Amino acid sequence: MTARSPEDIAALMARVGLGDRPVRISPLHGGYLNEVLLVETPSRRFVLKFLADATEGTLFPNLPEAEAEAARRLAGLDVAPGLIGYWPGERAIACDFVEGGTWSGDVAAVASLLMRKEAADPTGFRPVPLTPRAILAEGKALFARAPGLTPPPCPAPADLPPPARLSLIHTDVGPANLIGAGAGLRLIDWQCPAAGDACEDIYSFLSPAFQILSGRAPLSPGDRAAFFAALNRPDLQARHRLFEPFYAWRFAGYCAMRAVTHPDAEIRARYRRALEAETILLAG
């Protein structure tokens, strides 16, 4: 999308009553679709995001209305940045700036954050596949968009029940979306929330591919064990063990598709590395 000029940003801030002058604006990096800016005024610092058009037909659609609603539902849970305002006509959303760097490796902090998130109401958010067959069907459609790449063996679909309750899920709990530390850790960039299985968010955090796509090494077996110990939910650990192969095969399809279709050669190569790591997980 086309970047806004400083004059356009200042005009928006005046229209919606955001902050005072002087204003310092700096780009923030990490997203592929939206223009994300750090805005600093004499009285506050916040993130201002200009939203690209809503997208569907992907694992990570761009859903501005849902992003704003997720921020409202998560208010007070110490999970996500606080919502300052959402202006559909301006295609803009503003949230509190989370102090600190990206996730430092504290798996217990992530486990605690995901459990705090369980208090949020998922009613009304988009549905996502909850059964192995439906999850694998999404993966099959993604692999079909990656001609020339051979999919890893598909896990045999099992007849597993849906979760006992739906959760508000982020769907992209990679390290790049985790900011802060300890009890101050926050999950940012809620562009594609859903009403789904808590194990999908657990999968995305533990997935070697998600770690690689954030520029990290895959988590070690010790890291995974420490995560589940901190989570202290044997039911979710058992369910994750059953569903991980299906989520992994689907995400391998996403990585394959991006490895073929992304315009940037360096990013295509990163998706190939992520695909290889997820293939190793599936073979494990």
Cα–Cα distance measured from residue 176 to residue 280, given in angstroms and rounded to the nearest whole number: 23
Cα–Cα distance measured from residue 184 to residue 101, given in angstroms and rounded to the nearest whole number: 11
Options 3.40.190.10, 3.60.21.10, 3.40.50.300, 3.90.1200.10; CATH for 107-283 is 3.90.1200.10
What does each C-alpha distance from 169 to 29, 46, 258, 261 come to in angstroms?
23, 24, 23, 27
Domain-wise residue ranges, the chain: 6-96, 107-283
CA 63 to chain centre: 12
Cα–Cα distance measured from residue 164 to residue 159, given in angstroms and rounded to the nearest whole number: 15
Model-wide pTM > 0.85: yes
- For residue 135, the surrounding DSSP H or E stretch is helix 132-143
Tokens of 235: 């039911």
Homologous superfamily, domain 6-96: Phosphorylase Kinase; domain 1 (3.30.200.20)
Rg (CA), the chain: 19
Q: What are phi and psi of 194, to 5 degrees?
A: -155, 165
Is there a common fold for 6-96 and 107-283?
A: no
Where do the DSSP E strands lie in the chain? 24-27, 35-40, 45-50, 83-87, 92-96, 167-169, 178-179, 186-187, 194-196
Tokens of 16: 């919606």
Q: Of 171, 207, 200, 215, give the one whose Cα is nearest residue 63.
A: 171
Q: Which long-range contacts (CB under 8 A, 24 or more apart) does 119-124 make?
A: 119/77, 120/70, 120/73, 120/74, 120/77, 120/79, 120/167, 120/168, 121/73, 121/168, 122/166, 122/167, 122/168, 122/169, 122/194, 122/195, 122/196, 123/195, 124/69, 124/195
Cα–Cα distance measured from residue 173 to residue 176, given in angstroms and rounded to the nearest whole number: 8
* 8-state DSSP, 161: P
In a structure prediction context, what are the per-residue pLDDT tens digits for the chain, which is 284 residues long?
567 777 788 788 888 888 777 778 888 875 567 889 998 888 889 999 988 776 666 899 989 899 999 999 999 999 999 999 999 988 899 999 998 999 999 999 999 999 999 999 999 999 999 999 999 999 999 999 999 899 999 999 999 999 999 999 999 999 999 999 999 999 999 999 999 999 999 999 999 999 999 999 999 999 999 999 999 999 999 999 999 999 999 999 999 999 999 999 999 999 999 999 999 999 98
